[in-house]
Amino acid sequence: MGNSPGLQEIENKMPSLLKWSSLPLAGMVSELKFPVPWGHIAAKAWGSPQGRPVLCLHGWLDNANTFNRLIPLLPKDYYYMAMDFGGHGLSSHRPAGFPYHFLDYVSEIRRVTAGEQAGRTRRAGSFFSCIFPEMVDKLILVESYGFFPAPQESDAWLNSKRKVIESLLSLEENKHQPPKVRSPQEALQRLLQANSHLTEESGRILLQRGATEVPGGLVYNRDMRALTHNQDSLALEQCVSFLNKIQASVLMIIAQDGIFNPEAENMSRYFVKPLREAFQSNLKHFEFAEVTGNHFVHLNEPEVVVGLINIFLKRDQSSKAKL
């Protein structure tokens, strides 16, 4: 994977306006870049490459720093690599003229992986586990049911696609406008307002990788096209049938006050129950755990989930996984 800078070099390259919010990390940390036709996929890794590999995938509009507080608490004999999806964190933006499709993220996982691996992932990792089942030894889903099925009503589906197209065209019309520069505090407050589940400390951690220092303040790194959230058009029945392809042992951790809270007003209600039942009935090795906390429990309160993850990772280590 090439030469990787040490922790001190990484900290030296951080925007100086954000260094005050950095956290100490245990063990060796390195920065990686994987070349792709449109630029590169950025990643950061903890531990020795000789350790058992765990690929860590962030959620929508987050970045690899979402694992900063969790990974130092995990077993030290693993090699943890967290990638920034295209258009997020320090990864290159996709070519002009195209929205971000969910399968784009799945293809990026394949570009940076080789051989079998153990994985701690979110939704893209579940889809990857169905398409490349032989490459995944273990799958850990935190605040994810693996899939986000298309709306059941045809009008809702059509409206969602219309919004994606119109948003893309609107962004292209304004592409020559310079990115908005915000003070560090303004950038943080805007992030917290858009993500009510983030604590202030967690917001600062994400901004370390999600913003770049420029004269006058910070600009967000993410590609605005990623905001269109272009879902793939999979029916609930298709998602359920895909689960039969997963060969990995699966651990699903859901937060009591997360985005799948029964009282939350969102579209997830119609698929939560059938997907959980499908995981339970179709997989040989499936574990479900409900914990206190919200959608960012792994970042806000990693101690809540670390015990579950440690036990799951340590169980049956006979796999010869490698990255």
**In this structure, is residue 93 part of a structural domain?**
yes
DSSP assignment, residue 32? E
What whole-number distance in Å separates Cα of residue 132 and Cα of residue 247? 9
Over the range 197-220, which residues count as b (16 or more CB within 10 Å of their CB) and which as e?
bbeeebbbbbbbbbbeeeeebbeb
What whole-number distance in Å separates Cα of residue 95 and Cα of residue 175? 13
**In this structure, is residue 186 part of a structural domain?**
no
Q: In the block, which residue shows the tokens 């690599």?
A: 81
263: which 2 tokens?
A: 């009282």
CATH number at residue 275: 3.40.50.1820
Give the pLDDT confidence of 229-269 residue by residue, as tens digits.
Answer: 666 678 889 999 999 999 999 999 999 999 988 766 555 67
Please, what is the Cα angle at 22 between 17 and 24, to 5 degrees? Answer: 155
Give the per-residue pLDDT at 213.
Answer: 96
Give the per-residue pLDDT at 229.
Answer: 67
Over the range 234-271, which residues count as b (16 or more CB within 10 Å of their CB) and which as e?
bebeebbebbeebbbbbbbbbbeebebeeeeeeebeeb
126 counts as catalytic: yes
C-beta neighbour count of 189 within 10 angstroms? 14
Enclosing domain of residue 80: 13-153+231-314
Give the per-residue pLDDT at 154.
Answer: 83
**In this structure, is residue 43 part of a structural domain?**
yes
DSSP assignment, residue 138? E
Give the per-residue pLDDT at 34.
Answer: 94
Q: In the block, which residue shows the tokens 């609930």?
A: 236
Instruction: Record the pTM.
Output: 0.84
Give the per-residue pLDDT at 201.
Answer: 97
Question: Strands 78-83 and 52-57, how do they pair?
Answer: parallel
**In this structure, is residue 206 part of a structural domain?**
no
Give the per-residue pLDDT at 317.
Answer: 63
The three-state secondary structure class of 45 is strand
Catalytic residue among 30, 91, 126, 129: 126
Question: Strands 117-121 and 29-36, how do they pair?
Answer: unpaired
How many structural domains are present in the chain? 1
DSSP assignment, residue 65? G
Give the per-residue pLDDT at 265.
Answer: 58
Give the per-residue pLDDT at 192.
Answer: 97
Give the per-residue pLDDT at 5.
Answer: 35
What whole-number distance in Å separates Cα of residue 198 and Cα of residue 143? 14
Give the per-residue pLDDT at 123.
Answer: 59
Which residues does the chain have with pLDDT short of 70?
A: 1-27, 114-123, 229-232, 263-268, 317-323
Give the per-residue pLDDT at 292.
Answer: 97
**In this structure, is residue 174 part of a structural domain?**
no
Residue 38 CA, chain-centre distance (Å), reads: 20
Give the pLDDT confidence of 271-314 residue by residue, as tens digits.
Answer: 888 999 999 999 989 999 999 999 999 999 999 999 999 999 99
